[in-house]
């Protein structure tokens, strides 16, 4: 049946209603999926470079709408202007990457052990790819998945966060504009619905061979278990409890700039936000003093003001979650060095970025708190710092700040960071689209965006061609009548 439910989109900075969206019901779900399945039958036959040309045009349309779409991201997700515009730029960049990739969907060629035989591998599209995205990157993460999936020959169905439906509608309209020009329907699809009707059906639907889901570890565990139950594929991008190690020989000013962006950017609501800063004792006092001073200077306020550095959290529930976490931090022995309060004068979703002096035994350090809270922990040796850094369930992004080749290479070695992303002298956040993005352990193990992440959206086929007039068997087996 069709749904009569609706979702209201609010501006987290003001609480004002931005719009109302009717949620998809069972009928809409089935109609959209049938369109995607039908479109796949034809889209997969279009040569990959031609698919790349269409994706390139989507990127050009995004460039033309960059300012307006970026402003909508700011309005609906609460990101500051620079981050809203940056998110759209990320979509443009991935469109360019995907267009070039469309001519490089390569397979390997192997030497056969049999005379007169050729062996190689090739890649084919999967079908309809389901994409479930989160509020914190309401459009960019969709593009990492969708635009790569499209050049690989798939069609896509997108379930966005119900906290940011308007940005999803805007992106869908931009894609429709391009695809309609080329006579395509059902290639890019949008289903705005709740978990029960749309989300659950996507997970259980065998007609979607791949579900890419971004969100909490709790959500990802459910997605993984349900899709695995039907032997489908998942690409999971989940929680990140990211840490950085600061050695005595690091540049303290560089550390402070990087840590501030990593911890305060997007109000601490990035999956790559810096949450734990391990500082060697010889430099700890200097770094902590500089950070405390910097935190006092962060301008929190209207995200549409170009001078603002931190906007609101996504909603009042996120604020309460942060305040409860701070209470637990105090109980467990943490000391608030800066911030720690709600900004009531600005609105119900504003908080102060918070700096905490913590100790490694605090249980809360093992949790991802999706808020601008940065723990500072002092350490003695690099081995100690690496051990504490890795002693969490998550494994997304990590950094080390040092001028020592030994320290940096140790951190990057097999006994160093256990994360999917490891940086030297830069923040944990702000990844480029050219590399594979993702993490280990409870972060989910998925990889999106650059490098060879495209392989997740395709199926591998090994081919052996006998061009001789004989029929030799592998492993030297003889089978004759």
Closest CA to 257 of 298, 217, 226: 298
84 contacts 419 by C-beta, under 8 angstroms: no
Indicate which residue of 237, 352, 368, 378 is catalytic.
Answer: 237
Residue 442 designated active-site? no
3 state SS of 257: helix
State the CB neighbour count (10 A cutoff) for residue 77. 29
Residue 478 has, within 13 A of its CA and on its CB side, a CA count of 2
Closest CA to 139 of 207, 203, 197, 85: 85
At a CB cut-off of 8 Å and minimum separation 6, what does 302 contact? 13, 308, 311
Residue 237 designated active-site? yes
Indicate which residue of 271, 349, 352, 442 is catalytic.
Answer: 271
State the CB neighbour count (10 A cutoff) for residue 254. 13
283 contacts 291 by C-beta, under 8 angstroms: no
274 contacts 266 by C-beta, under 8 angstroms: no
State the CB neighbour count (10 A cutoff) for residue 341. 12
Longest dimension (CA), the chain: 90
Catalytic residues: 237, 271
């Amino acid at each position: 049946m069709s749904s009569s439910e609706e979702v209201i989109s609010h501006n987290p900075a003001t609480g004002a209603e931005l719009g109302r969206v009717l949620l998809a019901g069972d009928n809409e779900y089935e109609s959209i999926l049938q369109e995607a399945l039908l479109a796949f039958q034809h889209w997969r036959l279009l040569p990959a470079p031609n698919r790349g040309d269409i994706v390139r045009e989507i990127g050009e349309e995004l460039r033309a709408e960059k300012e307006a779409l970026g402003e909508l991201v700011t309005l609906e997700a609460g990101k500051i202007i620079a981050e809203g515009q940056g998110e759209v730029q990320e979509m443009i960049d991935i469109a360019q990457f995907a267009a070039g990739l469309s001519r490089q969907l390569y397979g390997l060629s192997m030497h056969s052990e049999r005379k007169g035989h050729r062996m190689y591998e090739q890649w084919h599209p999967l079908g309809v790819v389901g994409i479930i995205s989160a509020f914190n990157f309401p459009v960019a993460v969709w593009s990492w998945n969708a635009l790569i999936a499209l050049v690989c020959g798939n069609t896509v169905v997108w379930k966005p966060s119900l906290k940011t439906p308007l940005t999803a509608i805007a992106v869908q309209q931009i894609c429709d504009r391009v695809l309609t020009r080329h006579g395509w329907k059902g290639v890019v699809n949008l289903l705005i619905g709740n978990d029960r009707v749309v989300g659950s059906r996507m997970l259980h639907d065998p007609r979607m061979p791949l579900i890419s889901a971004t969100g909490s570890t709790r959500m990802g565990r459910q997605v993984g278990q349900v899709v695995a139950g039907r032997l489908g594929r998942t690409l999971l991008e989940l929680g990140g409890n990211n840490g950085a190690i600061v050695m005595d020989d690091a540049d303290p000013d560089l550390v402070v700039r990087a840590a501030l962006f990593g911890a305060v950017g997007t109000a601490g609501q990035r999956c790559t936000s810096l949450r734990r800063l391990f500082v060697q004792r010889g430099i700890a006092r200097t770094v902590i003093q500089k950070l405390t001073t910097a935190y006092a200077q962060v301008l929190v306020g209207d995200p549409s003001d170009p001078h603002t550095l931190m906007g609101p959290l996504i909603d009042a529930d996120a604020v309460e979650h942060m305040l409860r976490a701070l209470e637990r931090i105090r109980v467990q022995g943490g000391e608030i060095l800066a911030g720690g309060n709600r900004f009531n004068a600005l609105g119900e979703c504003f908080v102060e970025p918070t700096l905490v002096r913590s100790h490694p035994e605090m249980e809360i350090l093992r949790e991802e708190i999706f808020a601008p809270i940065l723990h500072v922990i002092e350490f003695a040796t690099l081995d100690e710092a690496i051990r504490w850094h890795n002693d969490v369930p998550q494994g997304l992004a990590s950094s080390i700040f040092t001028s020592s080749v030994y320290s940096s290479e140790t951190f990057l070695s097999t006994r160093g960071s256990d994360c999917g992303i490891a940086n030297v002298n830069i923040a944990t956040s702000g990844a480029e689209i050219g590399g594979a993005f993702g993490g280990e352990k409870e972060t989910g193990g998925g990889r999106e965006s650059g490098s060879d992440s495209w392989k997740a959206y395709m199926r591998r086929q090994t081919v052996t061609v006998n061009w001789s007039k004989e029929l030799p068997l592998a492993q030297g087996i003889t089978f004759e009548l």
